């Protein structure tokens, strides 16, 4: 399953409803929503009221990325707000296993995010509770950064790790510096869900989406 997950952080908030509708018209099924608290990452973005508001108008799959300290505090509220998948950072969870279990108990899919310098072995004892792994391909907190080339090998290593452990259906999402040029690189390495901000929202959205879809078609 290949998916493009446009990052709402890069959208034009004066035209947010219009742009989300356009994404659906272009065939997008996912929306990546970054929640930042100004502590785990320097930036502050948006929270439950914004997610609840757009949930009423959008049929997209809400892929909510929690870049916050102790994200387990917000699991139930995120479910009520309309999240379909909740991604938590291993670095921010005191009890990662318990947090993933709570996400599933609330009826959402659960994902673990890893910063660029975080080793893959932190996943060893939670893969049975993980529907997706998000590899940050930039240091989190700001949009518009360039892809870190060292992450290509990390993607490849994760794909091998998942396959050998019997978790071939677990998705690998990548986030940071993903555009029409780097898309082929990360897909070849084993990623199947691509988060793109300016790569989607900067310029002509339908044309940008089509370029990603062409990359997916080349992998099928």
CA distance 34 to 46: 8
Q: What is the pLDDT of residues 6-44, one digit of tens each?
A: 999 999 999 999 999 999 999 999 999 999 999 999 888
- Owning domain of residue 175: 3-219
Domain count, the chain: 1
Catalytic member of 34, 37, 63, 131: 34
Q: What is the pTM of this model?
A: 0.96
Confidence of residue 58 (pLDDT cuts 50, 70, 90): very high
The CATH number of the domain where 76 resides is what? 3.20.20.70
Catalytic member of 37, 63, 131, 175: 175
Q: Active site includes 124? A: no
Annotation: binding site for substrate: 7, 65, 141-144, 175-177, 197-198
Residues in contact with 35: Cβ distance below 8 Å, sequence separation at least 6, in sequence order = 45, 46, 47, 51, 64, 65, 66, 67, 68
Q: What is the mean pLDDT of the chain?
A: 96
DSSP SS3 for 209: helix
């Amino acid at each position: 399953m290949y998916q493009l997950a446009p990052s709402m952080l890069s959208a034009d908030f004066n035209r947010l409803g219009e742009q989300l509708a356009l994404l659906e018209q272009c065939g997008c099924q996912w929306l990546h929503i970054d929640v930042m608290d100004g502590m785990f990452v320097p930036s502050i973005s948006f929270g439950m009221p914004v997610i609840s508001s757009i949930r009423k108008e959008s049929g997209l799959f809400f892929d909510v990325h929690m870049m916050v300290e102790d994200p387990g505090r917000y699991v139930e509220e995120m479910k009520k707000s309309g999240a379909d998948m909740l991604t938590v950072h291993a670095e921010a969870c005191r009890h990662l296993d318990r947090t993933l279990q709570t996400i599933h108990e609330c009826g959402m899919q659960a994902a673990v995010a890893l910063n660029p310098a975080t080793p893959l072995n932190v996943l060893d004892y939670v893969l049975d509770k993980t529907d997706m792994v998000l590899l940050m391909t930039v240091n989190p907190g700001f949009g518009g950064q360039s892809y870190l080339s060292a992450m290509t090998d990390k993607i490849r290593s994760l794909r091998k790790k998942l396959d050998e452990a019997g978790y071939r259906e677990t998705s690998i999402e990548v986030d940071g510096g993903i555009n029409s040029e780097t898309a082929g690189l990360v897909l070849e390495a084993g990623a199947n869900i691509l988060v793109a901000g300016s790569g989607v929202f900067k310029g002509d959205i339908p044309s940008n989406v089509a370029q990603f879809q062409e990359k997916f078609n080349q992998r099928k």
